[in-house]
Structure 1
Amino acid sequence: MVAALALSGVAQAQTKRDDDKAKDEAASPGRWDDTRKRALEIGSQPGRDVGVMKRDMSPILEEALADPYTLEGLKTCVQLAGEVRKLNEALGPDYIVGNEVKESRAGKLAEAGGRTVINSIIPFRGLVREISGAAPAERRMNAALDAGLARRGFLRGVHYKQRCKTKF
């Protein structure tokens, strides 16, 4: 009987911890989504290295790469805000002043370890990436991301300068 009561108390405590954990996960679903995305990114790296898998570049980033400082077709505040929203979808959220960066040291160590293990699978990885075209494709993607960031900042500045009230 005492053992049954003790087990009941343990089960109730475990249920409470599980409920608390579920509430935490529901409150911050982005954290788990980011972890999954990083894990998939790390795991698929060898496929990208040999050219089997490729990343698709968003059309908005292709446009930004072509000319990040053009205002062609963007005359109104609504058009400017719409373009910034498209860039936000492709790039992720913009920098927010005063936003505290929360980083897990254990998570970063696990990520670095995972990348090290996965990247060691392919011998002469750098050479393989150049031959397969993965390295030039990554350089192009990075250039497009940089152009997208520059374009978003430029458009936000124009939006501000025109005293627009529309939201991004």
Structure 2
Amino acid sequence: MNKILLTAAVALSATTAFAQESATQKAGEIATQPVRDVGIDKKAIPPALVAAGANAYGVAGLTSCAKIGAAIGELTAVLGPDFGTGEQSAENRAEKIAEAGGKTVVNTVIPFRGLVREISGAAPAERRMNAALDAGYARRGFLRGLYLQRNCKPAL
């Protein structure tokens, strides 16, 4: 019984810490949006997503359940929790409203924001990042299917 309570307490504290870190991270992203809009601050695409984009459905090197699990873990480290795994945290409505308000204020700071983003290269960079994220999600889903198809234990 004590082990169950301890496990629940650890999980709750980890979820709370993740939510606080997430709110702080979002606030920082909103505040630095104008810098990204003019192309000064560019995010590099993580190597795991570059690899996923190069071959999302390849099986080379995936010779064991451990290797498949490690590949899934590498993508999860970049993409965040997956659907249906119990890793998602509850949505905070107040946080979402504050985020939307912050984005609205920042978006009004730069006139002709869309044009500025295209000229500066920020919009094409964002499209490349979004394509890499899509490839990462596709790769992780494929790897989960492969993991299950090979009857790997424990189930992810």
Coarse TM-score class (shorter-chain normalised): 0.7 to 0.9
TM-score using structure 1 length = 0.79
Query: How far apart are the structure 2 equivalents of 1:79 and 1:36?
Result: 34
Higher gyration radius (CA): 1
- Residue in 2 aligned with 1:81? 69
CA displacement 1:45-83 (0-9 Å, x = unmatched)? 111110000112110100111111111111111111110
With over 3 angstroms needed to count, the CA separation of the structure-2 counterparts of 1:40 and 1:167, relative to structure 1, is: farther
**Contact 1:68–1:150, Cα closer than 8 Å, also in 2:** yes
Q: Which runs of 4+ in 1 moved over 6 A?
A: 24-27
With over 3 angstroms needed to count, the CA separation of the structure-2 counterparts of 1:134 and 1:156, relative to structure 1, is: same
The residue type paired with residue 55 of structure 2 is D
Give the C-alpha shift of residue 148 in structure 1: 0.2
Query: How far apart are the structure 2 equivalents of 1:51 and 1:106?
Result: 30
Number of matched residues? 145
Query: How far apart are the structure 1 equivalents of 2:54 and 2:133?
Result: 12
For 1:1-168, what aligned pairs fall within 5 Å after superposition? 28-96=16-84, 102-166=90-154
The residue type paired with residue 128 of structure 1 is V
Give the C-alpha shift of residue 97 in structure 1: 5.4
Q: Secondary structure at the match of 1:103?
A: coil
**Contact 1:25–1:32, Cα closer than 8 Å, also in 2:** no
With over 3 angstroms needed to count, the CA separation of the structure-2 counterparts of 1:159 and 1:25, relative to structure 1, is: closer
Query: How far apart are the structure 1 equivalents of 2:43 and 2:85?
Result: 31
Give the C-alpha shift of residue 96 in structure 1: 2.3
Query: How far apart are the structure 1 equivalents of 2:86 and 2:20?
Result: 23
* Runs of 5+ unmatched residues, structure 1: 1-23
With over 3 angstroms needed to count, the CA separation of the structure-2 counterparts of 1:156 and 1:111, relative to structure 1, is: same
TM-score using structure 2 length = 0.85
**Contact 2:56–2:135, Cα closer than 8 Å, also in 1:** yes
Q: Percent identity?
A: 51
Query: How far apart are the structure 2 equivalents of 1:26 and 1:64?
Result: 29
Give the C-alpha shift of residue 99 in structure 1: 7.1
